[in-house]
Structure formats: C-alpha cells, structure tokens
Amino acid sequence: MTSKKADTVARAATPMPNSSKKAIPAIVILAIITLVGIGAWVYQLANGLAVTGMNNGTSWGLYITCFMFFVGLSAGGLIVASSAAVFGVRQYKQVAKPAVLLSTVCIIAAAAFVLIDLGGVQRVFNLILHPNLTSPLMWDVLVIAIYLIINIVYLVLMGRRSNVASDRALAITSRLALPVAILVHSVTAWIFGLQIAKVGWHSAILAPLFVTSALDSGLALLLIVLVVLNATKLFATSKKLLSSLAGLLAVCIAVDAFMVGCEILTMAYPSAPEEAAVLTLLFTGSSAPLFWGEIVLGLAVPFLLLVFSRLRESVGVIVVASALVVVGVFLKRAWLLLTSFVTFNVAGAPGVAYGRSGLDGTDIWSLIGTYAPTWVEVTVTLGVIALAALIYVLLAPRLFAGEDGHLELASAGAPAFATPLEPALPSADASTAAALGTAAKTT
C-alpha cells in the first residue's frame, strides 16, 4: 500500500502523466471550442447585448438559464463529498477529489455566465464599490465567492499528504462546505423566488426546489464524470459505489418530482387567472416542450431506470439515466425562467417596446414576451462549457492521476470500507479500472 501511494504521488507530479496523453485530442477540441466561444463573446462585447435574443419583454435568457443550471451542477459534487465527511459516509468519501473538482469548474462556469450576461461588465467593480445588501444578486455574488474559495481550499487540502493537521483542516472545510453549498443554491433561487412581480417565480418552495434540482443534476453529472474517468483510467470507482450513488440519485429525482408537483398543484388549485396563464403556457403553450420534456425525460424515465437495483447495476443504464437527469434539469431551468416573462402583468396593445432600432413601425412592439437564443448566445455558452471541461481535463491528472478511491482510502489509514469490489478482480487499481472501463463500453 505504501509503495502504491508513493507511485501515485510520483505520477501526479509528472507534468504529463501517461494517461493524459490520450486526452490530447480532447484537450485540443475543447480548446478550439473555448476559443470560438471567446471570439463570440468579444463580438458581443463589441456590439452589445443586441446580438442576443433578449429584449425588454424577456430580459433574461440562455445565459441566466445556464447560470442557474451550473450553480446547480456544482452542488452534487460538493454536497456528496462534504456530507460524506460530515456524516461519516465513508464510501462516498472516496470520490471526493473528482467530485470537488467538478464542483469547482461548474461554479466557475456559473460565475462566467453572470459576467457574460452583464450589459456593463466594465463597471462590474461597482459590486465592490457600491454593494447594496438588500439585493439577492449581491447575496449571490458574496456566497458564490465564498463557495469558490471553499472549493479551492478543499481541493488543495485533499491534495496534501494526509497528517493530523491537514485531516483536521479538511474536516473543518467539509463542515463549512455543506451549509455553504446549500446556501448557494438557495440564494440563486431567491434571485427569482423573491420577485413578487412574477407569479411563476414568487414561491417559498423555490429554494428547496433549487437545492433538490441541484442535487439530482449535480449527482447525475458526477456519475457521468466518474464513468468517463473510469474508462480513461484516470480514477477508478467501484461498480458498487456507482450503483449506490445511482440509488441516491433515484431518491433525489423522486424528491424533485414531489416538489414540482407541490408547486404546480398549489398554483393550479385556486384557478386564479394569473397562475392559470402561467400553467397554460407550461401545459400546452410555448413552454410545454420544456415542461413535459423535464417531466418525462428528466424525472419519469430516469427514475424508472434507477429505482430497480438490478438495472442500476449496469453502468450503461446509469449513464443514460444521468444524462437524462442533466438534460431534464436544464429544461426545468429554462421553463422556470422563461415562462414568467411571457405574460405582462399589465397587458394590452401596443405591449412592451422590444428595444431595438431598425424595426419598422409597430414591429418595435410585442404583446407578449418572446425569446429565442441567437447563434452568439449558443456559441458563447458552448465556449463556457468547453472551458469548464478543459479545466477539468487539465487538472484531473494532476489531482488524482490513476488513483483508486478504494486503495487511497485504505492507505490513508482509514479502515477499508468494503470487501474487495468484485471477487473476480485482483485488487490492483489499474486492472479494476480497465475492467470497469470495459464494462462501461460493453453495457
């Protein structure tokens, strides 16, 4: 075990570990997409937000959808890792490194989306010079900054050689991380949930709903990442742990569905006109593809796939279900944001002025809020996602090259959590990874 650990450390220290050579094509592709995205962002900076589909009726769009989405995605990792530490769930502790790295890159992406969405990003320092503490957006800026710092500290501490002092620091960090992770998603929800102007947002359930969506989408993304890390032999996770996490995911999906159900029923029951208008848009109107997409693809199907422990043993099923959950939560963010912009509280012709010159006569008006993302928004968004993935791919080999969570745990002096993962396999991590990689491919 000790020699194993030394080997791991040595490999982590090599600038370009063996396993990451294979990542070069991925790195190149991600770098290209990132650069194209930056190009589109520069184009947006030069021409203003007029190059987006946003307008005075629907004043937030894809960027803010992605902001909510990525804040949520970053939850899974940190909540799983830190609750493992706080509540002593040893088996989940093994995946702490890949999980916290995932959480870090996702929160960086989320912060990037807010900055990209600003009309006056050159005046962003006013957030420090003139903070208004009654603004939920200000709360979010603060709590995201704290969250990012905690993530980075967590990563650094986990990278240290284990001793009494660093274990203690890690224990403290994980205890801080859990409440902050829950807070960061609640505060993001409050940006919307506290707005009495929009009946579709103004709800006390929004914060718990965001935390649950964050848990299921974040956990789903973590599962996908763990399978990819297995397949690329960067980090081995036992099949048993994967299906245990997948079981947890099924629970989160159920809670998520419950909360959506509570919210919809509460809105629908009084049949009040404003709520009814929002629900009509959701059930049969322009938001229906997003709404039903989430209910069917994001909740029903993955729940049915994961609820049976037999199905959950297949890595393929886990990946498909997780991908559906991630897509489903994205759709949910989109309907949640956009539906409330459609109907104006004070409705009537001519409506709201769109906000662009060069439109003729009555074309400047719209009676309802409309929105479709432009190529600029889509390109910038893909760029940010590629950047996040790029950071992950570059840092992963340095943080946990070829590690096996199971072995590492044992070498850190903690009692080994489980009997050998699969009796047929020898306990060497590389072969476990190889076997799991094959399993991932064949299922």
Partner 1 sequence: MTRLAIVINQDRCIGCQTCANACKMENNVPMGMLWNRVITVGSDVIDGAVGTYPNLTREYLPMACQHCDNPACQAVCPVGATYTDEAGRVLINYDICIGCRICMAACPYNARVFNWEEPVRDPDFNYGHKDVPVRPRGVTEKCTLCKERTDEDREPMCVTCCPTKARSFGDLDNPSSAVSALIREKSAYQLLPERGTSPKTRYFK
Do 290 and 321 contact (CB within 8 A), yes or no? Answer: no
Asked if 356 is part of the footprint of partner 1 (rule: CB under 8 A), the reply reads yes
Cα-flanking dihedrals φ and ψ of residue 235, to 5°? -155, 125
Shortest Cβ 125–partner 1 spacing (Å): 9
Output the smallest distance, CB 50 to partner 1, in A.
4
**Of residues 435, 29, 433, the one with CA closest to residue 229:** 433
CA 35/CA 210 separation, integer angstroms: 31
The residues in 115-154 that bind partner 1, with binding defined as CB under 8 A, are: 117-121, 123-124, 126-127, 129-132, 134-138, 141
* Rounded CA separation 230/437 (Å): 6
Q: CA 262, 254, 90, 160 torsion: positive or negative?
A: negative
C-beta of 69 vs 303, nearer to partner 1:
69
Output 103 or 343, the one with its CB closest to partner 1. 343
Q: Return the number of the residue (134 or 419) whose C-beta is nearest partner 1.
A: 134
- Could you say whether residue 354 binds partner 1 (CB under 8 A)? yes
Neighbours of 268 (CB within 10 A): 15
**Interface with partner 1, residue 318, by CB under 8 A:** no
Phi-psi region of 271 (alpha: psi -120 to 50; beta: other; left: phi over 0): left
Q: Is 370 a residue that touches partner 1 (CB under 8 A)?
A: no
In angstroms, the CA 82 to CA 67 distance is 23
Give min distance, CB of 64 to partner 1, in A: 9
Residue type, 10: A
Shortest CA distance to 391 belongs to which of 195, 152, 132, 49? 152
For residue 437, give every residue at least 6 positions away whose Cβ sits within 8 Å of its Cβ, in sequence order, or none: 230, 231, 232, 233
- Cβ proximity of 173 and 155 under 8 Å: no
Residue that has been written with the tokens 């760029």 in this structure: 383
Contact partners, residue 328, CB within 8 Å, separation at least 6: 217, 293, 294, 297, 298, 299, 302
Minimum Å gap between C-beta 268 and partner 1 is: 19
Q: How far is CA 209 from the centre of its chain?
A: 14
Question: Quick one: which of 270, 358, 361, 413 contacts partner 1 (CB under 8 A)?
Answer: 358
- Which one of the spans 51-59, 71-79, 246-254, 284-292 is the region binding partner 1 (CB under 8 A)? 51-59
C-beta closer to partner 1: residue 54 or 99: 54
Among 3, 163, 345, 442, binds partner 1 (CB under 8 A): 345
Quick check: 348 binds partner 1 (CB under 8 A)? Answer: yes
Nearer to partner 1, 132 or 271 (CB): 132
Span interacting with partner 1, options 10-18, 352-360, 380-388, 435-443, rule CB under 8 A: 352-360
CB of 206 to partner 1, least distance (A): 14
Look up residue 355 and give its two tokens.
Answer: 């906000």
Residue 218 Cβ vs partner 1, minimum distance, rounded to whole Å: 25
Interface residue with partner 1, options 30, 33, 40, 54 (CB under 8 A)? 54
Provide the minimum distance between the beta carbon of 204 and partner 1 in the complex, in angstroms, as a whole number: 16
What is the C-alpha separation between 235 and 243, in angstroms, rounded?
16
Binding mask 182-221 for partner 1 (x = CB under 8 A): ---------xx-xxxxx-----------------------
Q: Which residue from 68, 170, 364, 440 is in contact with partner 1, where contact means CB under 8 A?
A: 364
In the complex, minimum distance from the CB of residue 286 to partner 1, in angstroms, rounded to a whole number: 17
Query: Quick one: 71 or 421, whose CB is closer to partner 1?
Result: 71
- In the complex, what is the shortest distance from the CB of residue 133 to partner 1, in angstroms, rounded to a whole number? 9
| Identified binder of partner 1 from the candidate list 347, 416, 418, 428, rule CB under 8 A | 347
User: Residue 242: how many CA atoms within 13 Å on its side-chain side?
Assistant: 33
Which amino acid type is present at position 2?
A: T
Rounded CA separation 1/50 (Å): 59
Q: Does 361 bind partner 1 (CB under 8 A)?
A: no
Instruction: Note whether 296 binds partner 1 by CB under 8 A.
Output: no
Distance CA 242, CA 226 (A): 8
Alpha helices in 194-308 (DSSP H): 206-231, 239-268, 273-283, 288-293, 301-307
Smallest distance, Å, CB 333 to partner 1? 15
Which stretches of the chain bind partner 1, using CB under 8 A?
47-50, 52, 54-57, 59-60, 114, 117-121, 123-124, 126-127, 129-132, 134-138, 141, 191-192, 194-198, 341, 344-359, 364, 367
